[in-house]
Amino acid sequence: MSHLILIRHGQSEWNLQKRFTGWVDVGLTPQGKLEACKAGELIKELKININFFYTSYQKRAIETLNLILTTIRIKKNNFTKAWELNERHYGALTGLNKDEMKKIYGEKQIHEFRRSWNISPEPLNKNSPYHPLNIKTYENIPKDKIPDTESLKDTYNRVIPYFKKEIYSKCNKNILIVAHGNSLRALCKYLFKLDDIKISDLEIPTGNPLIIDFNEKKEIKSARYLDKDRAKNLIILD
């Protein structure tokens, strides 16, 4: 049996401020750092050897993974970074407060922006300092690959090809992926064959490892959150 461990980064500064973050690079809060360290402790208790580590290009995910690696006593920065694992791009909503946007657009519309399969916010102006074209982290990504906005479907269409090409063949080994709420929702949609409606109900908690067990044929045998007290409803196995 092999294991795939999925972890959403610990609480970020903009999570705390309830701002749409997307591709903007923000760090972890003190709470987020504690979540990352606890995730490391929970993984260490499994007493398994993890063979491959993956994360996005984004600071909050990299910081989370490095804290986990320190906790389980593996050399920091020993991982693969992929922009394809980045968070969904929230377009013109980037940087705005979610509660304030609910007052303007209504709670239903904001819920659709956040949870629906194929609805995208308005594009972000390319002159915005929040646009990935103006963020140094992304200077080596082909410009035609950088989005102005994304739906979950758009996110799925970059996450899953990368997973199939670079990660799935290694699923007979133990793998850890630290990414983001929507890139992990996209991956769960693929792995657990969730339909376009059911995926809207799936929420990924910060800093809580989701361990997926594979049999010898790389078929999913079981899945569970390691921190049961902070586990979200695991609809993927309903």
Residue 89 annotated among the catalytic residues of the structure: no
SS3 101: helix
Which alpha helices (H) appear in the chain, and where do they start and end?
Answer: 13-16, 30-46, 59-71, 98-105, 107-115, 152-162, 181-191
Residue 203 annotated among the catalytic residues of the structure: no
The active-site residue out of 9, 89, 131, 180 is 9
Nearest in space to 91 (alpha carbons), one of 184, 185, 16, 21: 21
**Can you spell out the DSSP letters for 58-74?**
-HHHHHHHHHHHHHTT-
Laid out side by side, the sheet with 175-179 consists of: 80-81, 52-55, 175-179, 2-8, 210-214, 220-225
Q: How far is CA 12 from each of CA 23, 100, 179, 220, 223, rounded to the nearest angstrom?
A: 13, 19, 12, 31, 26
Specify the DSSP class assigned to residue 131. S
Rounded Cα distance between 7 and 5, Å, is 7
Specify the DSSP class assigned to residue 13. H
The active-site residue out of 35, 63, 84, 87 is 87
Catalytic site residues? Answer: 9, 87
